[in-house]
């Protein structure tokens, strides 16, 4: 437990609005390679942890998610999984861990049904690394080792009105940041990835 933090109360079968920041709000996601990498990681994590995903937005220095964990996996386990595995993959792309992409990741028997997806995903990560090394060296050296800020903010969705508010807030969050250089047709929101999102009933 972090100093001065409150114990997180995890409710089964609840929908959560999540915000998680990069360490010291470093804008890793200004680089589109890392945006695309996060979305690919999110697809694989969703399949592995079987959570329902209703909306997401990748901002330059933080992520918003609207999701419901499965009965088997609570919110903390889902977020730990997403953050740990994305961090490992992005640092592989940065050339900071030259060993296996996964180490022991997703090779347990419970993920056997996902092995084809995992193998394709590993190839994508290697392609992202190749793309990254086509960037000018001066640009690459400006990017430090990837780290998330510890913990994350969560809000339990209370009702349909609350869901609608947070769905719009998440999906269109880039609209709040045009002064920071976000384009009108920003790509890295669930509005452009309908195949990834689930429907919800109240």
Kindly state whether residue 98 falls inside one of the protein's structural domains: yes
Strand partners, 148: 22
Report, as an integer, the average pLDDT of 85-112: 74
Residue 21 domain flag: yes
Question: CA torsion angle for 100, 102, 103, 107 (degrees, to 10)?
Answer: -130
- Asked if residue 5 has pLDDT above 90, the reply is no
Name every residue whose Cβ is closer than 8 Å to that of residue 4 and which is 6 or more positions away in sequence.
none
- By CB atoms closer than 10 A (0-12, 13-18, 19+), residue 120 is exposed
Establish if 46 belongs to a structural domain: yes
**What tens digit of pLDDT does each residue of 28-81 get?**
999 999 999 999 999 999 999 999 999 999 999 999 999 999 988 999 999 999
Whether 181 contacts 172, CB under 8 Å: no
User: Is residue 4 included in any domain, yes or no?
Assistant: no
Tally of structural domains, the chain:
1
Let me know if residue 6 belongs to a domain.
no
Categorize the per-residue pLDDT at 119 as very low, low, confident or very high, splitting at 50, 70 and 90: confident
Joined tokens for residue 196: 């990834």
Q: What is the pLDDT of residues 131-187, one digit of tens each?
A: 999 999 888 888 999 999 999 999 999 999 999 999 999 999 999 887 778 888 899
Domain assignment of residue 146, given as a range: 16-196
**Average pLDDT of 73-97?**
92
In a domain, 159, yes or no: yes
Higher-scoring residue by pLDDT: 86, 105: 86
Q: What is the SS3 assignment for the chain?
A: CCCCCCCCCCCCCCCEEEEEEEHHHCCHHHCHHHHHHHHHHHHHHHHHHCCEEEEEEECCCEEEEEEECCCCCCHHHHHHHHHHHHHHHHHHHCCCCCCCCCCCCCCCHHHHHHHHHHHHHHHHHHHHHHHHCCCCHHHHCCCCCCCECCCCEEEECCCHHHHHHHHHHHHCHHHHHHHHCCCCCCCCEHHHCHHHCCCCCC
Provide the CATH number for the domain around residue 139: 3.30.70.1290
pTM, entire model: 0.88
Q: Per the domain annotation, does 124 fall within a domain?
A: yes
């Amino acid at each position: 437990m972090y100093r001065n933090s409150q114990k997180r109360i995890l409710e089964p079968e609840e929908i959560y609005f999540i915000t998680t920041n990069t360490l010291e709000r470093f804008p890793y996601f200004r680089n589109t390679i890392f945006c695309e990498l996060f979305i690919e990681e999110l697809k694989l994590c969703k399949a592995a942890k079987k959570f329902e995903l209703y909306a997401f937005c990748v901002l330059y220095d933080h992520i918003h998610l609207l999701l419901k964990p499965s009965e088997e996996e609570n919110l903390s386990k889902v977020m730990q999984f997403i953050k740990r595995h994305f961090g490992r993959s992005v640092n592989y792309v940065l050339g900071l861990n030259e060993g296996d992409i996964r180490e022991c990741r997703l090779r347990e028997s419970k993920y056997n049904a996902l092995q084809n997806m995992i193998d394709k995903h590993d190839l994508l990560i290697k392609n992202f690394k190749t793309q990254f090394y086509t960037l000018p060296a001066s640009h690459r050296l400006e990017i430090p080792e990837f780290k998330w800020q510890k913990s994350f903010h969560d809000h339990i969705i209370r009702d349909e009105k609350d869901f609608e508010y947070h769905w719009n807030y998440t999906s269109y969050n880039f609209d709040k940041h045009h002064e920071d250089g976000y384009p009108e047709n920003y790509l890295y929101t669930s509005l452009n990835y309908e195949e990834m999102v689930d429907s919800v009933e109240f």
